[in-house]
Amino acid sequence: MKSKLIIIGLFIAAFVAYLLFPSRYDITNQNPTGENIICFGDSLTYGTGATEGMDYPSQLSVMISQSIINAGVPGDTTSTALARVEDDLLCKSPRIVLITLGGNDLKNRIPRDLAFRNLRTIVTRIQENGALVIVGGVDIPFYGRGFGKAYKQLCKETGSVLVPNILKGIMGNAKFMSDPIHPNNDGYTLMAEKFCEAIKPYL
């Protein structure tokens, strides 16, 4: 009886540990080919609200001492980003690609399934070229429509590196925001630091 209780206890402990600390997944293209680090996305990548040279790609470039191409376009949705992925990204020999996309889909009430179908296509096309993908997720409390969970599922299924909520601790804090949506210089510094931690193991 005692041994059965021990076995049951171990099973429960293992199950709880699984829930609290889910198993890590394999990252696709951990040793990427290509030449360039490219930040691809919307206004969060472009640097709306920042002064010159203080957008997150510029700050990240200083942190890692490597040049970075900023391929951010304000207002981009996953659909418009998909339409330019060849000309603005794939033709530039990507080695590591950092993505911030989905915020405008969320704001514009674009269906989640459509947004993440587009995002999956973007990610897989990048990976097919041998590049590593890092995704900065967006998750807004009470308004996220399940986007946070969808980013996790996407990255697990594609083997992308995930920064779960790139605006955590930034959005809603006037100290770090230039307007209700975009960070200021200090906010972009925090974004760059988060991406820096994500990219360092693969440089």
Percent of the chain with pLDDT over 90: 82
Domain limits of the chain? 25-202
What pLDDT is recorded for position 24? Answer: 78
CB–CB of 71/39 below 8 Å? yes
pLDDT tens digits for range 168-197: 999 999 999 999 999 999 999 999 999 999
Question: CATH for 25-202?
Answer: 3.40.50.1110
pLDDT of residue 139: 83
Instruction: Tell me the C-alpha distance between 116 and 122, whole Å.
Output: 10
Tell me the Cα Rg of the chain.
19
What mean pLDDT value characterizes the chain? 89
Given this model, what pLDDT does residue 146 score? 81
CB contact at 8 A, 29 and 123: no
pLDDT tier for residue 160 given thresholds of 50, 70 and 90: very high
